[in-house]
Amino acid sequence: MVRPPCCEKAGIKKGPWTPEEDIILVSYIQEHGPGNWRSVPTNTGLLRCSKSCRLRWTNYLRPGIKRGNFTPHEEGMIIHLQALLGNKWAAIASYLPQRTDNDIKNYWNTHLKKKLKKFQMGSDHNIHHNSTSSYHHFMPKNQEYNNERVSDNSSVVATDPNSASVYASSAENISRLLEGWMRTSPFQPNNNHEIKTSTTNYRDISAEECDTTTSTAVPALNIQCYKPEIIENVEGMNPSDELQCILSYNHNLNGMACEKSVSCDSSHKGSENSGLIMIDQEKFRFMHEDKPKIETNPPLSFLEKWLLEESCSQVEGVMQELSSIF
DNA sequence: AATGGCGGCAACCGCCTAAAC
DNA sequence: CGTTTAGGCGGTTGCCGCCAT
């Protein structure tokens, strides 16, 4: 049987969304909450198919989305998670709660792939490793990306400045308009990469605040706990900043492993020997006992877990190396 | 100033999955 | 238990703006 289209093709508008359409969509979701996308076009009069509405909301209009300016830290997360999970953009996005899978996918395809290729090209001419390069630390040893062996020999390249269009800015404004509603509305986003309902950028959240504002929606990682000073000053990052960046990455990565191990295996060994970055399991226990979990990330497969633990120990090795350097 | 090339990104397409019936 | 279908996901396309010539 031929699969029917998700919507009638006739009379369906395609192409970029207009601010008017966005406002209609946002107003409707504000009233009814996200979901039941099938009914959105008919109830709003939008000449868009349900999928288009859903995509527009999840990738663009949803409050709390951070756009542009991927930090080196985020780059590292993406690179490592891509190596770990493959092109599972939705899964990767679940660990970067303020980024959409589409955004991450685009960034990977347009920026990171090229950068990694550059690194590979560079490594062909320079066998000696520069041990302070971030990329090196984020990558599992001998890891291949799209059949290209990746190594390192250069420093972090700052991401492009915010290249959002004029209209993108207006969409952000729409998101801001929703901020108040999201705090009080009984409706919550119900997709897998659910986000904190506040549009507060995590740069604004202090480490202390983090303990009390930890999202239940992204429980496996408390990504938003990154300390603000670590991800500021993307350009011209000095070595100690870079170290801090990597440290926080490692900390959160270990957090992943830690929580996984707490939930399914009490014999976590990931960081016990590090001496530099010990997982504060008491803290984790406190953070999660304090409030019941509403949703959890899907359990890692055996292979993923194994890879994760391995990568953790690799990063820890680098941390020890770096601690002797700095 | 005109134009052709290129890169970035929003949006579409088609397949897959799981829930509903 | 089989069928239907909404929603989710990853790959791809095409538009638009920037830059070099």
DSSP letters, A176-238, are: HHHHHHHHH-S----STT---SS---GGG--HHHHHHH--SSS-S--GGG--HHHHS--TT--
To the nearest 10°, report the CA torsion of A64, A254, A69, A228.
80
Same domain, A210 and A316: yes
Same domain, A223 and A291: yes
Same domain, A306 and A216: yes
Cα–Cα distance between A281 and A8 in angstroms, integer?
53
Q: Which residues does A268 contact at the CB level (< 8 Å), separation at least 6?
A: A257, A258, A261, A262, A279, A281
- Residue A181 identity: W
Distance A127 CA to B16 C1' (A): 43
Distance A40 CA to C3 C1' (A): 25
- Tell me the CATH number at A34: 1.10.10
Strand B contacted by A17 CB (< 7 A) = yes
Contact residues for strand C with beta carbon within 7 Å? A 1, 3-4, 6, 15-16, 35-38, 50-51, 54-55, 58, 87-91, 101-102, 105-106, 109, 165, 190-193
Same domain, A215 and A296: yes
C-alpha separations of A215 from A25, A256, A292, A297 in Å: 26, 15, 11, 13
Q: Which residues does A17 contact at the CB level (< 8 Å), separation at least 6?
A: A25, A48, A56, A60
| Per-residue confidence (pLDDT) for residue A310, from 0 to 100 | 46
Same domain, A80 and A144: yes
Cα–Cα distance between A57 and A33 in angstroms, integer?
11
Burial class (CB in 10 A: 0-12, 13-18, 19+), A266: exposed
Cβ atoms of residues A47 and A11 within 8 Å: yes
- Residue A161 identity: P
| Per-residue confidence (pLDDT) for residue A110, from 0 to 100 | 84
Cα–Cα distance between A184 and A165 in angstroms, integer?
30
3-class secondary-structure state, position A313: helix
Q: Which residues does A320 contact at the CB level (< 8 Å), separation at least 6?
A: A274, A275, A276
> Strand C positions with any atom < 7 Å from protein CB?
4-12, 15-17
Last residue of a domain, one of A149, A165, A180: A149
For chain A, the domain total comes to 3
Per-residue buried b or exposed e for A227-262, using 16+ beta carbons within 10 Å of the residue's own CB: beebbeebeebeeebbbbbbbbbbbbbbbbbbbbbe
Percent helix, strand, coil in chain A (nearest 5)?
55, 0, 45
Strand B contacted by A110 CB (< 7 A) = yes
Last residue of a domain, one of A126, A149, A172: A149
Q: Which range of residues forms the domain containing residue A78?
A: 72-87+99-149
- How does pLDDT run across A216-259, given as a tens digit for each residue? 333 333 333 333 233 333 333 443 343 344 334 444 444 443 33
Measured CA to C1', the nucleotide nearest A39 is C6
Distance A158 CA to B5 C1' (A): 25
Helices (H) and strands (E) in chain A, counts: 14, 2
Distance A90 CA to C13 C1' (A): 21
Same domain, A232 and A309: yes
Same domain, A222 and A280: yes
Same domain, A50 and A81: no
Would A5 be classed as within a structural domain?
no
Measured CA to C1', the nucleotide nearest A105 is C10
Would A39 be classed as within a structural domain?
yes
Would A197 be classed as within a structural domain?
no
| Per-residue confidence (pLDDT) for residue A69, from 0 to 100 | 78
Measured CA to C1', the nucleotide nearest A106 is B9
> Strand B positions with any atom < 7 Å from protein CB?
7-16
Q: From first to last of its 326 residues, what are the pLDDT tens digits of chain A?
A: 333 444 545 678 888 888 888 888 888 888 888 878 888 888 888 888 888 898 888 888 888 888 777 888 888 888 888 888 888 888 888 888 788 888 899 888 888 887 777 776 666 555 444 433 444 444 444 344 433 333 333 333 333 333 333 343 344 545 554 444 444 444 443 333 333 333 323 333 333 333 333 333 333 333 333 332 333 333 334 433 433 443 344 444 444 433 333 333 333 333 333 222 222 333 333 333 333 333 334 444 444 454 455 455 544 544 444 344 33
Would A192 be classed as within a structural domain?
no
Would A116 be classed as within a structural domain?
yes
Same domain, A38 and A82: no
Strand B contacted by A4 CB (< 7 A) = no
Q: Which residue is nearest to nucleotide B10 (CA to C1')?
A: A16
Same domain, A106 and A53: no
Cα–Cα distance between A188 and A33 in angstroms, integer?
7
CA A253 to chain centre: 12
Same domain, A209 and A306: yes
